[in-house]
Amino acid sequence: MLHFYAADKIFTGAEWLENKVVVVENNRIREIIPFTENAIHFTNAFIAPAFIDLQIYGAGEKLFALYPEKDALKKLVDYCRSGGAAYCMPTVATNHYDVFYKCIDAVKDYWNDGGTGVLGLHIEGPWISAAKRGAHVEACIHTPALQQVKDLLEYGKGVIKIITLAPEVCSQEIIDLILSYNIIISAGHSNATYEEATTAFNNGIAAATHLYNAMSPLQHRNPGMVGAILNHNKVMSSIIPDGHHVDFAAVRIAKQIMKERLFVITDAVTETTAGYYPHHFAGDKYESNGILSGSALTMSKAVKNLVQYCGVELTEALRMCSLYPAQVMQMENELGVIQPGAAAAMVVMNENYEVLKMMGN
């Protein structure tokens, strides 16, 4: 069955279109045609590619690491969709290995039960720097053994899609092993020097996790990982534009330097009192053991913040939440675009950047 969608404007990921209709068949975009009266038309609104959140920990008082089950993933996906994100990467912070294995099982169960919206699993830690652990529990942080890594990768084959690690903590042999499983390595929670970080980016690490946060800072005599990210010509990095993790001026500076290499994550968590990460809602952010531990962002709020407080044009704000995360995952022909053959995942927003409707998945 064909579905026809129109709005005042349509953003394809590459350009703005007017007087056009997106034709959808079987959850795929079939074509884009001139406006027709039989289309569902959204007034005072625009259609854009649905957003993609590559780092989120839980929702609805079910932190995924504490509740490695289908219902926790459903709540997480529902939260993402409320903010315009049709796709997400549930994330598990530094923990015991049995937690990682249970989370892998939960994703498999969710998929086997027909669940949609979950692209895979993002494991953040425990192979990180204790000095830059942030809210991560120090007792679980360690340098991994080769067999330890291989066992996890084998068990999580096809499920683990991103691993955040500190490159100075892991050998090149381990990094090469992870890459051989077609997993994206993101450098984060790292105290690497500028030279160490640059070498890692030149040797297979394609991304960095939440720019500025939990990494060696940019200093004039020691540029650190922040300097390596800003000065590299290929590595992409996530950033959390909530006004708490990063000052909006620092987001603006990074955007001017990195351009299309900078993308958004929410880093959102949920209220919980158990486990290693007792996240407590504090204003419009979360704290764990007195430390900033996660955001209360949605992707739609991130778009609004980027435009209103960071001086980012709407076109780029939308790409930072859709096309660029898709590029990180090497899925830019499938997600983050409105074009024939792509997934028919779209978000309808009004001029206040509020989500009016989600379409497809």
Instruction: Give catalytic residue positions.
Output: 267
Q: Is the distance from CB of 213 to CB of 134 less than 8 angstroms?
A: yes
User: Distance between CA atoms of 191 and 184, rounded to whole angstroms?
Assistant: 20
Q: For the purposes of burial, counting CB atoms within 10 Å of the CB of 128, is it exposed (0-12), middle (13-18) or buried (19 or more)? A: buried
Among 115, 112, 46, 37, residue whose Cα is nearest residue 75: 115
Contact (CB, 8 A) for 320 and 296: no
Give the DSSP H/E element, type plus range, for residue 91.
strand 85-93
What's the distance, CA 14 to chain centroid?
A: 20
Sequence letter at residue 307: V
- CA-nearest of 146, 148, 147, 193 to 167 is 193
Q: Which H or E run contains 40? A: strand 40-49
207: nearest Cα among 229, 179, 223, 190: 229
148-to-103, 126, 143, 152, 200 alpha-carbon distances in Å: 17, 12, 10, 7, 21
Question: Which long-range contacts link 31-38 to residues 24+ away (Cβ below 8 Å)?
Answer: 31/340, 32/338, 32/339, 32/340, 35/6, 36/4, 36/6, 38/4
Residue with tokens 């978000």: 347
